[in-house]
């Protein structure tokens, strides 16, 4: 809150400013290099991730009784890396029945597998697996901050990232904060208002007729929210100050417990509990166990490959890193979760 950028109408809430900066014309996610040019997700870290998602799709397939048409939708698909990897990892018989969708606001990459349908919205009714890796953290949110009198207000931002406080929060935003992220009265306490993410997740779950919807993201839980929020920027692999000018990603950790409650209400089930990526991937047979040393003598090339796989699995499941990500698994019309 240092300098005034002049014109009054440049001040907007973070949600509107981020929406334009990421997805407007010339927005960050419209750039040709795609997300992989700026940060590394589990999808980029290792093909083991797509192989695990393919195994999960096979389990959903079994739970659905092996339907004639099995849907796989990659929501927030980047450049289609995950859906491409999943198709490559599926057994041929399952791949032949799979209808693969990449749902993404950016344009279709020129060299994408012709079997993948590229669209900017989910299909109306999916039977299969909907998978959203690091999508919810990019659903723009407003930021709230407690003012010197102890009143939570909407934070306004100018295109150069300068902030000031706007109106006191009321209505659904204030209700959401009271339920999911009560702001302390100490001046300067901040929170991201996750309501648009709850609504986005519930809308995605509603597109699943039968099957499983999965959201994977960095997350925090009620009772342990970060006192100053997590809004941040990323550019070319580095964390930066968030500036809503289209030159960097703008992201904030996800209140996945709130999304879980909203998705469960949409699916008419109990809210699923928290699960770490470490636990989810272990259940999908991704382990960082090193190969036996004896293999180095009998099959040196196989040993080196197995060692590389173990290293990649360790990165995907690492404490303090990708392993701490949350997996939200929302079954729809299934008996339990096929994991």
Ligand X SMILES: C[S@@+](CC[C@H](N)C(=O)[O-])C[C@H]1O[C@@H](n2cnc3c(N)ncnc32)[C@H](O)[C@@H]1O
What is the contact surface with ligand X in residues (CB under 6 A)?
29, 35, 41, 43-44, 76-78, 81-82, 103-106, 133-135, 138
Pick the closer one to ligand X by CB: 11 or 135.
135
Pick the closer one to ligand X by CB: 119 or 282.
119
Pick the closer one to ligand X by CB: 57 or 183.
57
CA-wise closest residue to 263 among 191, 185, 167, 327: 327
Pick the closer one to ligand X by CB: 27 or 67.
27
Pick the closer one to ligand X by CB: 43 or 94.
43
Are residues 226 and 218 in contact, defined by beta-carbon separation less than 8 angstroms? no
Are residues 133 and 69 in contact, defined by beta-carbon separation less than 8 angstroms? no
How many other C-beta atoms are found inside a 10 Å radius of the C-beta of residue 78? Answer: 22
Q: How far is the CB of 76 from ligand X (least distance, A)?
A: 3
- Taking the C-alpha atoms of residue 12 and residue 163, their distance in angstroms, rounded to an integer, is 9
- Taking the C-alpha atoms of residue 137 and residue 154, their distance in angstroms, rounded to an integer, is 19
Tokens of 79: 């450049």
Tokens 């003012």 -> residue: 147
Phi, psi (degrees; rounded to nearest 5) at 122: -65, 150
- Taking the C-alpha atoms of residue 131 and residue 114, their distance in angstroms, rounded to an integer, is 20
CA-wise closest residue to 256 among 273, 269, 232: 273
Residues present in the chain in total: 339
Pick the closer one to ligand X by CB: 112 or 334.
112
Q: Residue with CB nearest ligand X?
A: 76
Q: How far is the CB of 29 from ligand X (least distance, A)?
A: 3
Q: How far is the CB of 118 from ligand X (least distance, A)?
A: 11
Q: Provide the 8-state DSSP code for 276.
A: B
- Taking the C-alpha atoms of residue 40 and residue 81, their distance in angstroms, rounded to an integer, is 12
Tokens of 176: 């959401």
CA-wise closest residue to 109 among 86, 82, 79: 79
Q: How far is the CB of 99 from ligand X (least distance, A)?
A: 18
Tokens of 4: 């005034």
Pick the closer one to ligand X by CB: 142 or 145.
142
Q: How far is the CB of 27 from ligand X (least distance, A)?
A: 8
- Taking the C-alpha atoms of residue 314 and residue 325, their distance in angstroms, rounded to an integer, is 14
Q: How far is the CB of 281 from ligand X (least distance, A)?
A: 14
Pick the closer one to ligand X by CB: 46 or 133.
133
Tokens 């870290």 -> residue: 45
Tokens 């993410």 -> residue: 197
Pick the closer one to ligand X by CB: 189 or 216.
216
Q: How far is the CB of 138 from ligand X (least distance, A)?
A: 4
Chain center to CA of 239 = 17
Q: How far is the CB of 7 from ligand X (least distance, A)?
A: 29
Q: How far is the CB of 38 from ligand X (least distance, A)?
A: 9
**Using alpha carbons only, what angle is made at residue 26 by residues 23 and 29, rounded to the nearest 5 degrees?**
45
């Amino acid at each position: 809150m240092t300098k005034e950028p002049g014109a009054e109408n440049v001040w907007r809430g973070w949600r509107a400013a981020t929406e334009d900066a990421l997805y407007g014309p010339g927005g960050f996610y419209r750039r040709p290099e795609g997300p992989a040019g700026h940060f590394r997700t589990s999808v980029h870290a290792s093909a083991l991730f797509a192989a695990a998602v393919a195994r999960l799709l096979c389990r959903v397939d079994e739970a659905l009784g092996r339907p004639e048409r099995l849907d796989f939708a990659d929501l927030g698909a980047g450049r289609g890396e995950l859906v491409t990897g999943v198709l490559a990892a599926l057994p041929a018989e399952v791949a032949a029945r799979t209808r693969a969708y990449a749902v993404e606001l950016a344009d279709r990459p020129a060299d994408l597998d012709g079997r993948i349908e590229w669209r900017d919205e989910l299909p109306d009714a999916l039977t299969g697996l909907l998978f959203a890796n690091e999508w919810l953290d990019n659903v723009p949110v407003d930021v709230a901050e407690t003012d010197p009198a102890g009143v939570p207000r909407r934070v306004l931002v100018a295109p150069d990232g300068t902030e000031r406080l706007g109106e006191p929060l009321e209505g659904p935003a204030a209700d959401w904060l009271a339920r999911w992220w009560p702001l302390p009265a100490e001046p300067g306490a901040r929170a991201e208002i996750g309501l648009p993410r709850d609504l986005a997740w519930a809308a995605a779950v509603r597109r699943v007729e039968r099957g499983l919807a999965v959201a994977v993201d960095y997350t925090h839980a009620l009772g342990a929210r970060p006192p100053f929020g997590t809004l941040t920027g990323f550019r070319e692999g580095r964390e930066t100050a968030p500036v809503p000018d289209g030159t960097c990603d703008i992201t904030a950790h996800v209140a996945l417990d709130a999304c879980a409650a909203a998705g469960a209400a949409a699916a008419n089930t109990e809210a699923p509990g928290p699960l770490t990526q470490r636990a989810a991937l272990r259940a999908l047979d991704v382990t960082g166990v090193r190969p036996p040393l004896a293999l180095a003598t009998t099959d040196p090339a196989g040993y080196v490959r197995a060692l590389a796989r173990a290293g990649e699995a360790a990165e995907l499941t690492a404490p303090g890193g990708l392993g701490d990500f949350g997996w939200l698994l929302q079954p729809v019309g299934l008996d339990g979760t096929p994991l």
